[in-house]
Chains A and B, each alone.
Chain A
């Protein structure tokens, strides 16, 4: 009799433990989320204004932007990267979304830090092509009192007609 009771109690303990785990992973601090959304709006504005100085001002001095061409190290290099990009491509309707469970607080008493993931979409136009709609996803690590970007990376969703992608899921179109 005693053993089944213990098993039942352990079972109960597990069923209580599981919902708390789910809560931990799915509920971001609402205030931190609002802060993130506010700083992201500045980034979207900078992209829509094709303003390399404004975009790079959102990064820390030692930031890394992991582009699909490789890492760009340091705010100065990131500004040049944006400037070169904006010379060739005009961005508009740049929209940034934040995933439901982001941001994740990874700060300590001495230093504020968070990481987050989300999606982006934009219209791009060149001198003799476009406009064209593209989209993808991003992840970021932000830090400090003004939540500057320490690390940013982004990817681009392949077009349906593109080369077969090993990761294209059936749910995506």
Chain B
């Protein structure tokens, strides 16, 4: 509990630091920004519908999902993972919001990009919740044809100071 509280305090410190730093924004084709926004929206819809199959086309075949329990390799395994999660937990109000400085284009060919952002969600399980959760994400994208897909998908959870009762 103490560590969680400390992390929350560190989190607070960050909140004050961020606005004072005026970061230069990369010049990005607005069309790419829109396409990546659409990708986030499809992600939100799939989560809110508990629809793992709808997540499949959003990942590249060789995608990596880095959970807090470790990485999962490949679209097929990632979709199976989310299907298993959706059996246990109902997601609602899932909202991915990209950071104002994102996206960042990687290669000069313009076929790779990355973004970071925040997520918020309401979780409900058979014997818990509904509970609000939030955190941050990092995604690396690759363009396949006209479609942007996630090559890397990683997320973390913001610790809550008011965490439910924990065993000591």
Contact = CB atoms under 8 A, between A and B. Distances in A.
Contacts of B109: 108
B71 A117 contact: yes
B135 interface: yes
B111 to A, nearest CB: 10
B66 A88 contact: no
A15 interface: no
Contacts of A126: 2-3, 6
Nearest to A157: B68
Nearest to A25: B62
Contacts of A115: 114, 140, 152
Interface centre among A64, A124, A158 (most CB of B within 10 A): A64
A129 B2 contact: yes
Interface stretch (B10-18, B30-38, B51-59): B10-18
Chain B's interface: helix, strand, loop or mixed, by majority? mixed
Interface residues of B, number: 63
B107 A137 contact: no
A88 B6 contact: yes
Given A153-B116, A155-B157, A166-B89, A99 B68 contact: no
Contacts of B125: 164, 166
